[in-house]
Structure 1
Amino acid sequence: MLRDQRGSVTAEFAAVVPAVMIVLALCLGGLQLSTRQLRVQDAAALAARSAARGTSFDVAALVAGAAMQIERRGNLVCAVVTVPGTPLAGILGAVEVSASSCALAGGG
């Protein structure tokens, strides 16, 4: 009776390992995506404050490949920073990351 189940643990292990690897890859990709979102948000805040003071700021220096758009909304100067996905994040790399921030115009 014990000989009938020989190798079943190996087969189950071989089926579980790819599933665990996929979950691990998705978790690491999500962590990279959330870190990128934080960096983009910081860049948008710095860009908005710089634009409100009337100085220029290069968001690509903080986040590679970032594009910035400045908008005026009444007394506010708003910066919208967008970064395309990265192929290193796997399937989550197709997600475009964007953040916006506003500062009072003329603020010091």
Structure 2
Amino acid sequence: MAKKELTKEQEQLARFAKALGHPIRIAILQMLANQSCCFHGDMSEVLPIAKSTLSQHLNELKDAGLIQGTITPPTVKYCINLENWTVAQTLFSAFLKDVELDTECS
């Protein structure tokens, strides 16, 4: 029996999940989602994070495709990537809906 290959959806879902795997990245996404337009400014003045590590978290979210924008020190311009955000919502929703847990195996 041949091994089954991972699907594109499984790989993309895992990439999104990895990007969401840190609380500051969740805070960044929540902040951006609550903006009426792109965020301009220094996020380290709004979020509990040092400037030195902020760019690493922004790059992780950007590499995953969840946000888009530019870094122009000392400010940034970032927005939610709406197309990929919709894909992430669809993939997570389908994944969580499709996984049925056997409650009798506790």
Normalization by structure 1: what TM-score? 0.30
Structure with greater Cα Rg: 1
**Larger fraction in strand:** 1
